[in-house]
Amino acid sequence: MDERRPEILLVEDDSNDVAVALRAFRRHSLAERVHVLRDGAELIDYLLAAGSRFRPKLILLDLKMPRLDGRGALKELRRRPETRHVPVVIVSSSDQEHDIRECYELGANSFVVKQLNPWAPGEYLVHTARYWLDMNQAIH
């Protein structure tokens, strides 16, 4: 596997959220392993460009995004054989049951509600990423 390839794809259109997330990752020396994409379309383009052998360890996917949103991107990921088993964690401000259910049905591996913690901003993303990077056994 190419060492320069990122292990985490963060798909998020809100620059504030991206900034907070990257700060948290940086504080845990994970920022180098994260690549940020602004929406679903960018994600799909990036994956196409990366080639069929590229397997990220985690895709953190926001739901509400311009152009191709989280649902559309998830569908596309699960439709493509080379990304069918890539771990996808939905990161959304919604805690609506129908959103959660729909995402699982589309093949999400986990659903995390965006958390607000003034004492440790964005820290929940680091916790989430740790699990998928260090603990999870993926299909390569």
Partner 1 sequence: MKRSEPEGLGPAAILVIILLGIALSVLVWQNLRRERDAEVERQAEAYAEALGEAVSSGIQAIVAALPQPARRVQLGGGASSAPADAARWQSAAADFLEQNPSTLALLAEPGWGLAGSAEGKEIARQVLPDLRRRAADPTSEFLTPPISVSGGREIVAAQVRISGDARESGTVFAVIDPAVALSRILDKRALGYAVSVSAGDQELYRRGPAEPKRDLRRLGRTASIKIGTGPPWTLRVSPTAELEGLDLSSLWVLIPGLLGSALVAAAVHFGTLSWRRESALRAANERLAQQIDDTRRGEDSLKRLSEELEQRVARRTAELNETIVELETFNYSVSHDLRSPLGAVINFAAILNEDCAEQLDSTAKEHLNRIVGSASAAVSMMDALLAYSRSGRTELHKTHLAVRPLVEDVCDELSASAPRLKCAVKIGEMPDAYADEKVVRFVFSNLIGNACKFTHPNQEPSVEVGGIREGDEVVYFVRDEGIGFDMRFVDKLFRVFERLHVSQSYPGHGVGLAIVARLVRRHGGRVWAQGAVDKGATFYFALPVASEADGRETT
Residues in the site for partner 1, rule: CB under 8 A? 14, 16-17, 20, 23, 93-94, 114, 116, 118-119, 121-122
- Sign of the torsion formed by the C-alpha atoms of 94, 139, 79 and 21: positive
Helical pair 15-27 and 123-130, crossing angle rounded to 10 deg: 60
Q: Rounded CA gap, 47 and 38, in Å? A: 14
Residue 61 CB, shortest distance to partner 1, in Å, is 17
Residue 90 CB, shortest distance to partner 1, in Å, is 16
Are residues 33 and 6 in contact, defined by beta-carbon separation less than 8 angstroms? Answer: yes
Residue 117 CB, shortest distance to partner 1, in Å, is 8
* Nearer to partner 1 (CB atom), residue 107 or residue 121: 121
* Nearer to partner 1 (CB atom), residue 22 or residue 133: 22
* Nearer to partner 1 (CB atom), residue 42 or residue 99: 99
